[in-house]
Amino acid sequence: MPRRPVPRRPIAPIAPIAEFPVSGSDAGPYGITCGPDGALWFTMVHDGRIGRVTTDGEVTSYQLESASGGPSIITTGPDDALWFTEFRSHRIGRITTTGNITSFPLPTPDAGPFGITAGPDEALWFTEARANRIGRITPDGDVTEFPLPLSGAFPSAIATGPDGRLWFTMNQANAIGAIEYDGHVTVHPLPVPDSAPVGITAGADGAMWFVEIGAGRIGRITPDGKIDEFALPDPASRPHAIAADADGNCWFTEWGANRIGRITPDGRIDEHDLPSPSSEPHGITLGPDGAIWTALEIGTVARLTPR
């Protein structure tokens, strides 16, 4: 049976959080990642821009061809460029650290690409939420698409696993999937109904960690499919994205509760309130400075320095 420990309130010291303005309040900073140049790169989902902020707060932004394309998740590719999904324009984008932008249309109309990650095969793997597929794109733009065995699954976030497979959440199918290079998909249903998993990341413990936005839980799944779930203190906190740090912990955003949370490998949960109210935290990543960086839709990014 999956573990469901009693929720624990924060017991760790309060971590300092700084916020950096990076855009207007309606631009919507959303996905964020650590770039190969030692800066943080982020998407502006409502403004059709890609942003860059240094660890001391210097901001640059780049306009995409379509202001309404909906850039969502961003990651560093094997070519030392940043790759991102454009959910509404159904394209995969690429931007170099000097700001040169390329865009690749997808073969399937209305695909709705959302999650993206660098695979171990020197390609980028991404989800097609609306088309119910997993996609693969090489650095020169060749795209392959693999259909999922479940209809209406709404694949969301994706991450490379310790076993070399690509692991992804199926938000509407209440399941976690793993896909091999040939397109074979293994499906792992989640124990709690309507948990609506979104973010997923590879933990330092050899398992994948994910968030359940519908159930207010953090999940853990081993490569052989064993699932544990950990309830958050606030079941309505709506955890959204998750990232691993160098110490074996995972950090996650609580979109509905305006917090950043941390879960240790043994399931202890600590939470940190964000300074600005209703800041809508979404993407989260480990920065080059060892801090946790979060994109806030109100037009800022937050840096949490762990203690």
What is the set of active-site residues? 282
Three-class secondary structure assignment of the chain: CCCCCCCCCCCCCCCCEEEEECCCCCCCEEEEEECCCCCEEEEECCCCEEEEECCCCCEEEEECCCCCCCEEEEEECCCCCEEEEECCCCEEEEECCCCCEEEEECCCCCCCEEEEEECCCCCEEEEECCCCEEEEECCCCCEEEEECCCCCCCEEEEEECCCCCEEEEECCCCEEEEECCCCCEEEEECCCCCCCEEEEEECCCCCEEEEECCCCEEEEECCCCCEEEEECCCCCCCEEEEEECCCCCEEEEECCCCEEEEECCCCCEEEEECCCCCCCEEEEEECCCCCEEEEECCCEEEEECCC
